[in-house]
Amino acid sequence: MRAGICDMVAVARIINATLVIPELDKRSLWQDSSNFSDVFDEDHFISSLENDVKVVKKLPKELASATKAFKHFRSWSGVDYYEEEIARLWDEYQIIRAAKSDSRLTNNNLPPDIQKLRCRACYQALRFAPKIEAMGKMLVDRMRSYGPYIALHLRFEKDMLAFSGCTHDLSPEEAEELKTIRENTTWWKVKEIDPVEQRTKGYCPLTPREVGVFLSALGFPSNTPIYIAAGEIYGGDSRMSDLLSRYPLLMNKEKLASVEELEPFINHSSQLAALDYIVSVESDIFIPSYSGNMARAVEGHRRFLGHRKTISPDRRTLVRIFDKIDQGRMKEGKNLSNRIIEIHRRRQGSPRKRKGPIAGTKGTDRFRSEEAFYVNPLPDCLCQKVS
């Protein structure tokens, strides 16, 4: 959501358009009725961008009946595409409606002023609504009362497992339930998924039990406060029991705040996610169990704020280690700890340039293989010192 909005700000600048405050998707899996102003500070967004792009809250009345150009902007496009193909639509239309906003701009090789605008939009203009900011700050303060804390994005919810086909550590009944969900979801095209292959390639989230082994191996003591940034964990308390036995100070929104305090946000998934986002960005250490949209956005924001520590698990290597532990071929202890620490020595959010495309890839695959702009907005969004 954040990335799509910020890309549309940049596109509006490229084609010299006035941007109408974006509509949020109310038909997605989350089924959230929130409007832009429910999630973000609308007035701050408009005023922050006034020197870059004109932003209005609604389509002007005089244009209400004007013919619209409904357009699917091409994925990962550069300035030439928008200046030549999209801007030509102004010859016939006064309104261009973008059908989608995600990944509409290439990550690299854009003019520096456009890249900097994306950063201003994402990290300065796009502030959460005041009630979300206030609640998020309160949750952060309550976590800090326990001491320096880890924010753990534990991506182990039912929908995520169903659509990724990941069933490791689940019962046959649970695996069948997830398969049924996938088969009955019309818009999800991939029905048959090999769960073993998915996990072997590192495409599955770490299970709560595996996260416990990982944190212990990294040397975090049992009294480390951990904030669980996630929805409802599939399998509930029984699936969290191993992690909880290792780390009793497991917190989440529901434990830190009262029912009355959380009531305004209930049934609004995007607003609840925004609270997790704030607590994650402000954490002393952020650890995602899976590299999804939320994890990538938080990592990029933390890089922008000064390379705050983000430990990204090497899932492909870790699952081989966890399997050896399960088979009795390896034990937890100093040797395991040393190995996992060494594997993750360079996976902690230290400064580096954004990764380009994987060698040998072409076309769309080339763009897909690039590191996303909002995962690592550097060096474009970092002031350079003059030697």
Instruction: Read off the pLDDT of residues 81-122 as tens digits, 9 standing for 90 and up.
Output: 999 999 999 999 999 999 888 899 999 999 999 999 999 999
Distance, in Å, from the CA atom of 281 to the CA atom of 229, rounded to the nearest integer, reads 11
Counting residues of the chain whose pLDDT is more than 70, the rounded percentage is: 98
* pTM of model > 0.85: yes
| pLDDT (mean) for 359-375 | 90
Confidence (pLDDT) at 31: 74
Distance, in Å, from the CA atom of 153 to the CA atom of 156, rounded to the nearest integer, reads 9
Tokens linked to 137:
């700050």
- pLDDT tier, 28 (very low <50, low <70, confident <90, very high otherwise): low
Query: Taking the CA atoms of the chain, what radius of gyration do you get in angstroms?
Result: 22
Confidence (pLDDT) at 102: 86
Confidence (pLDDT) at 100: 85
**Residue 387 confidence (pLDDT) above 60:** no
Distances (CA, A) of 22 to 97, 101, 209, 346, 349: 10, 9, 40, 38, 31
Listed range (217-226, 267-276, 319-328, 358-367) with the worst mean pLDDT: 358-367
Partner residues linked to 70 by β-bridges: 97
Q: Which residue has the higher pLDDT, 378 or 173?
A: 173
- Residue found by looking up tokens 């995007």 in the block: 270
Let me know: does 206 contact 214? Beta carbons within 8 Å.
yes
H-only helix segments in 208-344: 208-218, 236-246, 253-256, 259-262, 269-281, 293-304, 315-326, 334-343
Confidence (pLDDT) at 258: 97
- Residue found by looking up tokens 């996303």 in the block: 372
Distance, in Å, from the CA atom of 105 to the CA atom of 101, rounded to the nearest integer, reads 9
**Residue 154 confidence (pLDDT) above 90:** yes
Let me know: does 294 contact 277? Beta carbons within 8 Å.
yes
Pairing mode, strands 95-98 and 150-153: unpaired
Confidence (pLDDT) at 188: 84
Confidence (pLDDT) at 78: 95
| pLDDT (mean) for 334-354 | 95
Confidence (pLDDT) at 75: 93
CA angle (2, 291, 199) in 5-degree steps: 150
Q: 318-326, long-range: CB within 8 Å, 24+ apart, which pairs? A: 318/206, 318/210, 318/214, 318/343, 319/199, 319/200, 319/202, 319/204, 319/210, 322/210, 322/213, 325/213
Distance, in Å, from the CA atom of 174 to the CA atom of 163, rounded to the nearest integer, reads 14
Confidence (pLDDT) at 354: 92
Distances (CA, A) of 226 to 135, 260, 271, 284, 349: 18, 23, 21, 10, 19
**Residue 245 confidence (pLDDT) above 80:** yes
Give φ, ψ of 195 to 5 degrees: -65, -35
- pLDDT tier, 386 (very low <50, low <70, confident <90, very high otherwise): low
**For the chain, how many residues are written?**
387
Q: Determine if the peptide bond prior to 288 is cis (ω within 30°).
A: no
